[in-house]
Amino acid sequence: MHFDKELDARGLNCPLPILRTKKSLNDMTSGQVLRVVATDPGAVKDFQAFSKQTGNELLSSETASSEFVFFMKKK
């Protein structure tokens, strides 16, 4: 999937992956896509909730070994 910016949140625990994602999205323009890689298993539910609360679209969520990859589209 095409993305405009990437955020490495590996090794960070809740709530840091979400906080860093929010900061990254603030620096982006509407419609751009952010790819986030995290290792915190709680991030799956966190990103779903973050998407609902902020209106930023969670395009996809993938799990590869012990890493979770999220694609967020800025509203």
The one catalytic residue in 5, 10, 14, 28 is 14
CATH number for the domain whose boundaries are 5-73? 3.30.110.40
What local confidence, expressed as pLDDT, does residue 64 receive?
85
- Helix (H) / strand (E) element for 32: namely none
Residue range 2-10: average pLDDT?
98
- The model's pLDDT over 11-65, given as tens digits with 9 standing for 90+, comes to 999 999 999 999 999 999 999 999 999 999 999 999 999 999 999 999 999 998 8
What local confidence, expressed as pLDDT, does residue 10 receive?
98
Break the chain into its structural domains and give their ranges: 5-73
Length of the chain equals 75
Told to judge if 14 belongs to the known catalytic residues of this protein, a careful annotator would answer: yes
What local confidence, expressed as pLDDT, does residue 30 receive?
98
CA distances to 14, 18, 30, 38 from 4, rounded to whole Å, are: 24, 18, 11, 17
